[in-house]
Amino acid sequence: MIKKFYYTVWTDIILQLQKNPLNKKSWKWYSLFVMSFCFGFNYVPILLLLPKSLDPLVYFREFHFFSSDFLDTLFHGLILFLLPGYILHYFLVFYKKKYEKFTKEYSFKNGNLFMKYMLVSVFLPLSVLVIALIINRIF
């Protein structure tokens, strides 16, 4: 069931992007970025529930690659939130052109399923974060 949902969402974003002639060359990288971004948001609540000793952000803060704190934070965020999704999705979707098979097998929802997935992926973790911050302020 999870596999079916996963590949149906991918079918939805791939076919929706391919409909637009402007995305003829960039649909693969655009879909990979957007899905990896959503994937990164999906595990924000998990990171919030981890004890401080297991929090990967604590360990990342020790490494400074740039002279700017902003650039360091941005780089750490990319590594922590985007890179795992890029690697996972690449091998599950794009490696050996697997998308050609599942886009024929799973139904196209005209972009609606992907849009719902994206909204839930972004707003649910943000809601959890806001609730956690409110609870932290109260107690």
Each residue's pLDDT tens digit, 45-101: 777 676 666 666 666 667 777 788 888 878 878 888 899 899 999 999 999 999 999
Task: Give percent of the chain with pLDDT exceeding 70.
Answer: 90
Task: Kindly state the greatest CA–CA separation across the chain.
Answer: 53
pTM: predicted TM-score of the whole model, two decimal places: 0.83
| Residue pair 85/40 in contact by the 8 Å Cβ criterion | yes
Residue 10 is encoded by which pair of tokens?
A: 């991918």
| Residue pair 49/29 in contact by the 8 Å Cβ criterion | no
What does the pLDDT read at residue 41? 87
Please provide residue 107's backbone torsions phi and psi, each rounded to the nearest 5 degrees: -80, 150
Bigger pLDDT: 80 vs 33: 33
Distance CA 35, CA 29 (A): 10
Torsion of CA 52, 56, 136, 128, to 10 degrees: -140
Going by C-beta distance under 8 Å and a sequence separation of 6 or more, which residues neighbour residue 10?
Answer: 31, 35, 93, 99, 102, 103, 106
Bigger pLDDT: 63 vs 137: 137
Gyration radius of the chain's alpha carbons:
17
Bigger pLDDT: 17 vs 68: 17
What does the pLDDT read at residue 20? 92
Three-state DSSP string of 74-112: HHHHHHHHHHHHHHHHHHHHHHHHCHHHHHHHCCCCCCH
